[in-house]
Amino acid sequence: MTLAERRPGGPPPKEVSSGRYMITDDCTSCGVCEYMCPQDAIKEAPNRFVIRRHLCDGCAECVPYCPVRAIVPAAEFAARQQETRTAQLRRILKRD
Ligand code: SF4
Ligand code: SF4
């Protein structure tokens, strides 16, 4: 933060990046996106790959490489997760 930003009435401090893209449950853990991220923000987790939010700058380089379109803007993440859960539930209920 610069002195000008600290001064009362000065411009507000820049927001710390909180991640602009996220990976949904649709991830099949193929690992392609990990190699495409210039920020090294994508890592493997137990059930799928995840984006480390503090490192993601929102460049979207990774997005077109995901074969199942699991990398989505953070704003869409919750909606996509809910769609996936609903589809899984429907599949389970049809089996009975
Ligand atoms: S949007 Fe850019 S920085 Fe963020 S995870 Fe994808 S490639 Fe990495
Ligand atoms: S490219 Fe897509 S499916 Fe492959 S690990 Fe990344 S998010 Fe998962």
Count: domains in the chain: 1
- Tens digit of each residue's pLDDT, the chain (96 residues): 444 444 455 444 443 345 699 999 899 999 999 999 999 999 999 989 999 999 999 999 999 999 999 999 998 988 888 888 899 899 999 865
CATH number at residue 38: 3.30.70.20
Calculate how far, in angstroms, residue 85's C-alpha sits from the geometric centre of ligand 1: 25
Joined together, the tokens standing for residue 80 give 């996509």
Calculate how far, in angstroms, residue 59's C-alpha sits from the geometric centre of ligand 2: 16
- 48 within some domain: yes
Counting from 1 in the atom list of ligand 1, the atom nearest the Cα of 42 is: 5
Spatial distance between the Cα atoms of 61 and 46, rounded to a whole number of angstroms: 23
Quickly count: other Cβ atoms within 10 Å of residue 63's Cβ: 15
Ligand with an atom nearest the CA of residue 36: 1
**CA angle in degrees (0–180, nearest 5) for 69-81-18:** 80
Ligand with an atom nearest the CA of residue 57: 1
- Written as one letter, the residue type at 90 is R
87 lies in which domain range? 16-95
